Amino acid sequence: MRILKSKLQFIILFLVALLVSCTYEPVDGTVEPVDGTVEPDPGSSSGVFKADFSGKPWTANETQAIVNSDYIAITAMKTDGSFFQITLSHGTVGTYNWSTATPTTPLVLAYSLGSGQVPYISESNSDAANDGYVNYVDTAELVISSINKTTNIITGTFKFTGVRFDNTFTKTEIKVFTKGQFSVSFTTNNTSPSTNSFFCKLDGSDFIPTNVDGIKASNSITINGRRGSVETIGLTLVAGITPGTYDLENLPLGTNNIGLYNKDMSGMNTFGANPGTVTITTHNTATKHIVGTFRFTGTSFFDVITHSVTNGSFDVYYQ
């Protein structure tokens, strides 16, 4: 259970970093050759992302990808709020599975029904057994076929078996995902609006982010301060939050506010608020402007080390 919760923390915060300040590519105008490979229409900047599960095909309406020297990350969303997330540390063209993954080069294959839902995630057979899943057979395989740095298109295939506890963490569920294909445009980084501000102290030292972003997705508002390519301090708040002081927690159960610190791509260095608070001083839903302060102690399921996040403040216009 500790392994699963740590992975959930990592996936959630990495999604925070990816979802904010992103221009998603609408998926249309694609063509599918006879050989089954998927390529975007040469006259379109759009792409394609699809998979099969539960006897039905799933096709994204929007995609977003980041490819740089630190990681490959692909997010694909439907208008109903469901999404896939693929994250690979230091990825290049090649084939990846749980035999190639390490604590410092993690592999994330995940599917969520929407914001506030516990996602289905790929696990190795040993991790799944430790988390209490029975009759689980690992099928994970991610193939990065090409990374074209001229057209900024990344292409590949994937499959995996996803496991999850339901939102009450009492019932285990398994879902098999097959025929995953993607050919989507990517950027090397995100940029943030100059009007946004974010500050805090991390273990007593100033944390000065290089990107400050906010986005409303489904029932949540995410506020994110990122320093460099990966290191992130983020808050995910209930979308209708009003002025007042609220507790921060470390896992998404649909109705709570979350505080997380992600140090790197290892998945072992994700620290969730335990305890923590956020105070909202202003929230104008018409102009999408939110102002507040926060603080929390970040704890990990894998380490006795904690991180102190204090003097936090934000003034953000979210998308």
Statement: the pTM of the whole predicted model exceeds 0.85: no
* pLDDT, tens only, 161-180: 998 876 666 667 899 999 99
For residue 81, the one-letter residue type is G
Are the beta carbons of 110 and 122 closer than 8 angstroms?
yes
Omega prior to 275 cis, within 30 of 0: yes
Q: Is 244 exposed, middle or buried (0-12, 13-18, 19+ CB in 10 A)?
A: exposed
Mean pLDDT of all residues belonging to the chain: 82
Residue 254 pLDDT > 70: no
Of 185, 215, 250, the one marking the end of a domain is 185
Considering the domain architecture, whether residues 50 and 161 belong to the same structural domain is answered as yes
Q: 10 in a domain, yes or no?
A: no
Q: 101 in a domain, yes or no?
A: yes
Considering the domain architecture, whether residues 166 and 99 belong to the same structural domain is answered as yes
Does 157 or 131 have the greater pLDDT score? 157
* Angle formed at CA 256 by CA 252 and CA 260, multiple of 5 degrees: 60
Domain total in the chain: 2
Considering the domain architecture, whether residues 158 and 136 belong to the same structural domain is answered as yes
Considering the domain architecture, whether residues 146 and 201 belong to the same structural domain is answered as no
Residue 289 pLDDT > 70: yes
Considering the domain architecture, whether residues 90 and 169 belong to the same structural domain is answered as yes
Considering the domain architecture, whether residues 219 and 109 belong to the same structural domain is answered as no
Closest alpha carbon to 257 in 289, 279, 284: 279
Q: 192 in a domain, yes or no?
A: no
Closest alpha carbon to 207 in 58, 307, 84, 73: 307
Q: 14 in a domain, yes or no?
A: no
Q: 104 in a domain, yes or no?
A: yes
Q: 2 in a domain, yes or no?
A: no
Does 154 or 13 have the greater pLDDT score? 154
Considering the domain architecture, whether residues 179 and 201 belong to the same structural domain is answered as no
* Angle formed at CA 304 by CA 303 and CA 310, multiple of 5 degrees: 105
Considering the domain architecture, whether residues 174 and 258 belong to the same structural domain is answered as no
Residue 117 pLDDT > 80: no
Provide the residue range defining the domain that includes 277: 197-317
